[in-house]
Structures are given as C-alpha cells and as structure tokens.
Amino acid sequence: MTHRDVVVIGGSAGSHKPLAQVLARFPSDLPAVVLVVVHVAPGARATLAETLARACALPVRPAVDGTRLEPGAVHVAVPNRHLLVDDCAVLRVSDGPRQNLVRPAVDALFRSAARWCGPRTVGVILSGSLDDGSAGLAAIAAGGGVALVQDPAEARFPGMPTAALRVVPDAETLPGFDLGDMIAEVVGKPVTAQSRPPEPLIWETDMLAYGASRTPDHGQAVELGCPECRGGMYVVRTGLADHYVCHVGHSYSPQSLLSVRDDNIEEAVWTAVSALLEKVVLLKKLAERAQAADDIEAAEKHRAEAGRASRAATVLRNNLHLSDAENPVAHLLGHSY
C-alpha cells in the first residue's frame, strides 16, 4: 500500500513567518519528507535552513544533489538552484532553465513532485507575489495529491495564495499557524497508485533535470517568443491553470510572462524617449546655428521639428504612467521650442 509521504512547500515575499509556523507544528516522527522552496536572490547566502531549524523538531538541511528521500527530514532549496524530485527516490539540485523569472522556482519543485510522487504529494502555497506555484499546485491536485493554501487574508503578500486558489479552488485554505497541523494530519494516509503523468509534464521536468527529453509533446504551440532565449513557446494546460514553456525549458506563469513583457515594453519606450530627446538636442543646436547665420527659415524649421519630437517624447512618457519625479529625463521634456 502506498502512503502520502512527500510534502512540498513554496513561498516568496512574506513567507518566512508562516513557514516557521508550519515547521514548528511538525512532530519529530513526521512520516514524510518535506521539501521547501522560497524565492531568494541568486547571490544570497544559504542560511534559510539554519534559521528554520531553530523552530522545527525535524532536522532541517540545505538541499544536496543525490540525497535519498527519507521521511523525517526537511530539505531547503539553495540560492540559484532548482530543487527537484527525481524518480521519487532522490533529490536533484539543478541549474536548469529559470521558471517564472526565478531559480529556485516553486513550480519546478511542485511539478517534479507531481510527476514522480503523484497522489503521495501534499503541496502547500504560502505568501508571495505574482503566481509562481499555481501551475505546480494544479499538477499536484490533478495527480491526486493534497492542495493546501495559506489564507490570503492573513498572508503578508496574498498574490501567490490568491492565484493558487484561482486555479485550484478546492484547495484547503488555512492560516499559516494551522497548516502544520493539517499537514501532520494528512501525511501517512494510504493512497491509490498514480496513473501515467501527462506527457508535457514529463517533458518539462526532464528538461529541468537533464536538459533533454525523449517525450515529443511539449504542449500546444502558441505565437509567443521566450523572453529569455527568443525560442518558440508552448502553452501547457493543467486543469484551470495555464503556463508557457519554451523549447529549452524556460517557463512562465501568465503573471510572470506579463511582468517581463511590461519590462520589455517599458525598456522599448524609454529607448524611444531617449532617441527623441537626443533628436531635440541636435535640432536645437541646428536652430541656434541657423539663427546665428541669419537663416531664419531654417531656424524656424528646426524649432518646429524639435517641438514635434518633444511632444512625441512627452506622449510616450505620459503613457508609462510615471510622475515627473520618477522620470530621469523629465526636466528635458519641459522645454518648449
């Protein structure tokens, strides 16, 4: 008989307190292995495991590649490495493609657990921004696992919990302090054997762990380019959740893809504003020189063209919804010609 014995927990901004609360409620004989991903900067020190160990009866360690998955231990993702489950027996610490703009990513861990552990998995989403973890939690639920979400009303940053509940509306919602008790209650329960995972899930987790896959089904092709490598992208649908994966394994939730596109658009607009302002400066100099040479017609022509360029820059800047205080070239846009 197979039992529920894998707990995966993911969070981002504001998740440290509820995570410590969860771990503090675990008994020393918890019949499950616990895997934790919290978004951290690539260059950060790997101190989270040490901090969490103070509140937990179980041993808490930074994740080490190749570690056997055994009940009664907590493994914490290290900076700039995905934490993955491989063949439901060992951990993988991978420098594979970023997902949702981050590494480690919650979705990477959750989707690998959904593939290899299926109904044995308990997935937990804590406080954080945007929607990393939503597709992974949907995969866990689709595979027969248990989905738990921190109550968005008490989360310091409710984005991740809210997004998770949007795609897994039947997930159990609890305050952070009560999640640990719920996890302890559901682990160890018998579960039915899992069915074969969907091929896009197999392909994606292969790409994260090994950089290659023999599975041909990437999902449905869409007319989008990957923001990181410019390769073609596919949409993968899991229940109510959609996410986008490129041919090398970069993955984006809808909100993370919109976020990076917003950054791309802003960068492009500021490039255009800068080019227009450089044109204004040059035209102003040409107007001054024409005025000094008594070429009044040419001076007026240059001033008129400079005015048009200045107004165009102002329109672009205003459509970025930035105040003058936030705009590094606002003082230039105040000139009239």
Mark whether 205 and 153 lie in a shared domain. Answer: no
DSSP string, 78-144: PTT-EEEEETTTEEEEE----BTTBSS-HHHHHHHHHHHHGGGEEEEE-S-STTTTHHHHHHHHHTT
Residue 1's pLDDT is: 64
Catalytic-residue membership of 16: no
Q: In the structure, how many helices (H) and strands (E) does the chain have?
A: 10, 15
**Which residue in the list 5, 15, 39, 131 is annotated as catalytic?**
39
Hey, is 225 helix, strand or coil? strand
Q: Are 280 and 312 in contact (CB under 8 A)?
A: no
Residues 6+ apart with CB under 8 A from 249: 96, 97, 204, 207, 208, 211
Catalytic-residue membership of 170: no
**Which residue in the list 12, 112, 127, 259 is annotated as catalytic?**
12
Residues 6+ apart with CB under 8 A from 314: 333
Residue 253's pLDDT is: 94
Mark whether 247 and 327 lie in a shared domain. Answer: no
Q: Please work out, in degrees rounded to the nearest 5, the angle formed at the alpha carbon of residue 143 by the alpha carbons of 141 and 145.
A: 55
What's the rounded Cα separation, in Å, for the pair 91 and 102?
19
Q: Are 122 and 186 in contact (CB under 8 A)?
A: yes
Residue 325's pLDDT is: 44
Catalytic-residue membership of 39: yes
Dihedral over Cα of 264, 265, 270, 271: its sign: positive
Domain that holds residue 28: 2-191
**Which residue in the list 5, 86, 107, 132 is annotated as catalytic?**
132
Q: Model confidence over 53-90: pLDDT tens digits?
A: 998 999 999 999 999 999 999 999 999 999 999 986 89
In the predicted model, residues of the chain with pLDDT beneath 70 are 1, 88, 321-337
Mark whether 69 and 203 lie in a shared domain. Answer: no
DSSP state of 68: B
Among the three residues 233, 255, 277, which one is the final residue of a domain in this structure? 255
Rounded CA Rg of the chain: 26
**Order of strands, edge to edge, in the sheet holding 220-225?**
220-225, 232-238, 241-246, 251-252
What's the rounded Cα separation, in Å, for the pair 262 and 254?
12
Mark whether 171 and 271 lie in a shared domain. Answer: no
Q: Model confidence over 324-337: pLDDT tens digits?
A: 444 444 444 444 43
Mark whether 118 and 203 lie in a shared domain. Answer: no
Mark whether 184 and 327 lie in a shared domain. Answer: no
Domain count of the fold of the chain:
3
Residue 151's pLDDT is: 98
